[in-house]
Amino acid sequence: MEIAGYIIAVLIGLSLGLVGGGGSIITVPVLVYLLHVEPVLATMYSLFVVGSCSLVGSVKAFKKGLVDIPVVFVFGSASMLSVFIARHHLVPLLPDHFFTIGPLVVTKAVFLMLLFGLLMLLTSVSMIRSSTRNQLAAVPAQDQPRKMLPLFLQGVGVGIVTGLLGAGGGFLIIPALVLFGKLPMKTAVGSSLTIMTFSSLFGFFSTMAQYTINWTQLLSFTTIAIGGIFIGTALSDRISANSLRKGFGWFVLIIALVVLSRELFFS
């Protein structure tokens, strides 16, 4: 099972390199079910994986001038603040046992995986509905006032999701940057990767002292995923990103249903 986990790490990187996002959402389920990492620790590991993979993409975007610094500062500062609050205060406040309904015992681990399954459902729908990015790309971005307060508030919400579940939240960030930050689509994608880099790595390093980390396992998984990014980037001109996004969206949907059914009926 561990070998399968590392193989899927390549797929995570491939999806990031080919379509610019979505792959990191399956990191936590892979860590939990295939590499046998405890769910709370898996969300911590995911912060490192997401942050490291996003760093590769954000550096490329920055070199191309596709990162809007003011928008990244507003959204990113809000996100980093709420990531810190979520990791330091919300996660420790979660009870070890939530409730019991018949044979279903909802512990902290089960609760987090159920939340993650729901987040995966939202992500898969966003990826399958490929028209969404085309609609956003048609939104005029120039010569319009930026709405910084909605950007800040959206950053707070995304940071809580990132802090609790270890997910980057790119599918939430990009629409906000286009609609409220008035960014062109390519700049929104580059800025989103930069925001995810800072918020995820900040969340990881600010709380890593609270956990016992298997660095060999974490660095191996992350390195393989990053390798997949470079492979995906090399193949990106030969494969339809739109078709691949849809296909990977269906893959994420299937995993989401597996996660939810496993936690609800077989935990």
Q: Write down the residue that tokens 């892979």 correspond to.
A: 30
The pLDDT confidence band at residue 19, using thresholds 50, 70 and 90, is: low
The pair of three-digit structure tokens given for residue 105, joined into one six-digit string: 């015992």
Q: Domain-by-domain residue ranges, the chain? A: 2-265
Whole-number pLDDT of residue 238? 77
Closest CA to 21 of 181, 138, 156, 190: 190
Per-residue pLDDT reduced to its tens digit, 165-174: 888 787 788 8
**Average pLDDT across the chain, whole number:** 86
From 93-102, 173-182, 222-231, 237-246, the region with the lowest mean pLDDT:
237-246
- 107: which strand partners? 97
pLDDT given for residue 167 in this prediction: 83
- Nearest one of 207, 181, 191, 189 to 47, comparing CA atoms: 207
- What is the reported pLDDT for 140? 52
Q: Quick one: pLDDT at residue 233?
A: 76
In Å, how far from its chain's centre is CA 66? 20
Q: pLDDT at position 122, please?
A: 87
Phi, psi of 97 (to 5 degrees): -130, 120
Q: Is the pLDDT of residue 244 over 80?
A: no
Tell me the per-residue pLDDT of 41-99, one tens digit each, with 9 for 90 and over.
999 999 999 899 989 988 988 998 989 999 999 999 999 999 999 999 998 999 999 98
Residue 39 or 234, more confident: 39
